[in-house]
């Protein structure tokens, strides 16, 4: 008889924005990603405090194509200089693996980019379901004053490629300009 992977539930504890069981937790502080922000002087001045930027609660399933990885990200509010807190951003290691996001709480943007430099961004608020098609790098940005909390699901074998975004960056950055959320050109963006 074949041994089947057993079905199971995970509970999203909405009031605390955590999963039960917590699964594999990834914690990103400013020191894990300071070089990604535009204003390096402000990044350095926050380094003593080293704020928590985001946490990812990953349900543990095998990393193979038959399975669907799923997780909750809690992206905290804050800014480095005028640039809003954001995730590192990545392509999937297997580039053509898509992803679905569903926003539970807060507000933010999902910024996306292809390897030949196409750029798109979508607004997310509670109830928004966003589709990241195959081949698009993706990053989320918290443009609000509350934690921005979303669920993600993607093919089990997708993997994560952070290096390309670390090197090249996204074409645009999301900043606070006199109290308004603005998308501006990234002067450090370099399409090789």
Q: Would you count residue 55 as binding ligand S6P (CB under 6 A)?
A: no
Q: Which does 17 bind (CB under 5 to 8 A by kind): ligand S6P, Zn ion, none?
A: none
**Long-range CB pairs of 64-67, under 8 A, 24+ apart, other chains included:** 64/156, 64/157, 65/155, 65/156, 65/157, 66/156, 67/5, 67/155, 67/156
CB of 152 to Zn ion, least distance (A): 7
Stretch that binds Zn ion, among 46-54, 64-72, 98-106, 140-148 (CB under 5 A): 98-106
Q: Out of 19, 43, 80, 89, name the contact with ligand S6P by CB under 6 A.
A: 89
In the three-class reduction of DSSP (H, G, I as helix; E, B as strand; rest coil), residue 45 is classed as helix
**Whole-number CA gyration radius for the chain:** 17
111-170 binders of ligand S6P (CB under 6 A) = 138, 140, 152, 154, 160
Stretch that binds ligand S6P, among 37-45, 85-93, 106-114, 180-188 (CB under 6 A): 85-93
Cβ burial of 38 (10 Å; 0-12, 13-18, 19+) is: middle
Question: What residues contact residue 47 under an 8 Å CB cut-off, 6+ apart?
Answer: 30, 31, 34
Give residues in contact with ligand S6P (CB under 6 A): 56, 71, 73, 87-90, 99, 138, 140, 152, 154, 160
Footprint on this chain of Zn ion (rule: CB under 5 A): 99
């Amino acid at each position: 008889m074949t041994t089947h992977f057993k079905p199971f539930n995970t509970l999203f504890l909405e009031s605390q924005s955590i999963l039960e069981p917590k699964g594999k937790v990834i914690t990103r502080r400013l020191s894990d990603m300071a070089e990604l922000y535009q204003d390096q002087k402000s990044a350095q001045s926050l380094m003593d405090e080293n704020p928590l930027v985001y946490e990812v609660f990953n349900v543990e399933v095998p990393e193979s194509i038959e399975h669907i990885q799923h997780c909750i990200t809690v992206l905290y509010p804050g800014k480095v200089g005028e640039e809003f807190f954001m995730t590192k951003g990545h392509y999937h290691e297997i580039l053509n693996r898509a992803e679905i996001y569903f926003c539970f709480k807060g507000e933010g943007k999902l910024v996306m980019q292809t390897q030949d430099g196409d750029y798109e961004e979508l607004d997310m608020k509670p109830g928004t379901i966003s589709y990241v098609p195959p081949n698009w790098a993706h990053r989320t940005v918290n443009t609000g004053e509350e934690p921005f909390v979303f669920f993600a699901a993607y093919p089990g074998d997708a993997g994560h490629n952070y290096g390309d975004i670390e090197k090249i960056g996204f074409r645009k950055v999301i900043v606070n300009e006199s109290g308004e959320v603005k998308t501006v050109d990234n002067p450090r963006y370099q399409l090789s």
